[in-house]
Amino acid sequence: MSPSVVVLDYGSGNLRSAARALEAAGADVVVTDDFDAGMAADGLVVPGVGAFAACMAGFRAVRGPQLVEHRLAGGRPVLGICVGMQIMFDRGVEHGVTTEGLGEWPGVVAELPAAVLPHMGWNTVEVPEGSRLFAGVAGERFYFVHSYGVQQWDWVAQEPFHAPLVTWAEHGGRFVAAIENGPLAATQFHPEKSGDAGLRLLGNWLATLR
């Protein structure tokens, strides 16, 4: 059977393109803001496009923080995409305004120190050893559209927990391009816009749901 995936509709993100890509990768997909459906699915995808503050407001309106918290507490997979990744961090700072995120990971989402913004287009990534998400596509290019990102990663691993696997990319400086942390994974780039490499990556994530 195909794994069931809910793409969370909280008013942000390219929901239909994400759903189509997940279906092409082998998932049975529903786009909804229903909390119970999000809990019941094998996997939950949190998309996101636009401003950090607006995304957090929409996310809270559909009880997104509680949904993610409850799923992760039960070891149930969650995948964040673009701003859906950013809101997993402590906070975002845009135009001098600080907005609290979910705090699943330490870090601040801030404007990239690049001469040209947004960072739009294809880019390579620096994948850590042992990545399951990037199996078979570590050397490929992925599609980014963003002006903000996490540029500093401060994580102290505590036994018996392992430190997350962090993938990096560069645009004006290094920034976090993806994270794999037990049931919680996320990408700053858009796998649904990244052609065959993106579909392979989504397939790798779906394989962790079984």
- pLDDT tens per residue, range 1-50: 899 999 999 998 779 999 999 999 999 999 999 999 999 999 999 999 99
Kindly list the distances between the CA atom of residue 99 and the CA atoms of 62, 77, 110, in Å, as whole numbers in the listed order.
18, 25, 11
Task: Quickly tell me which residue has 């927990």 as its tokens.
Answer: 161
- pLDDT tens per residue, range 86-110: 999 999 999 899 999 999 999 999 9
Catalytically annotated residue among 104, 140, 180, 192: 192
pLDDT at 52: 96
Establish whether 146 is a catalytic residue. Answer: no
Angle between helix axes 15-24 and 195-207 (nearest 10 degrees) is: 70
Task: Quickly tell me which residue has 């065959």 as its tokens.
Answer: 196
Establish whether 170 is a catalytic residue. Answer: no
Structure tokens at 96: 């001098």
pLDDT at 163: 86
pLDDT at 82: 97
DSSP 3-state of 120: strand
* The model scores a pTM over 0.85: yes
- pLDDT tens per residue, range 135-181: 999 999 999 999 999 999 988 766 566 789 999 999 999 999 999 99
pLDDT at 14: 78
pLDDT at 157: 67
pLDDT at 93: 97
Residue 85 or residue 14, greater confidence: 85
Catalytically annotated residue among 82, 146, 171, 180: 82
Establish whether 192 is a catalytic residue. Answer: yes
Catalytically annotated residue among 119, 146, 171, 190: 190
Among candidates 184, 174, 109, 188, which has minimal Cα distance to 143?
188
Q: Which domains does the chain have, with CATH numbers?
A: 4-207 (3.40.50.880)
Q: Tell me the residue length of the chain.
A: 210
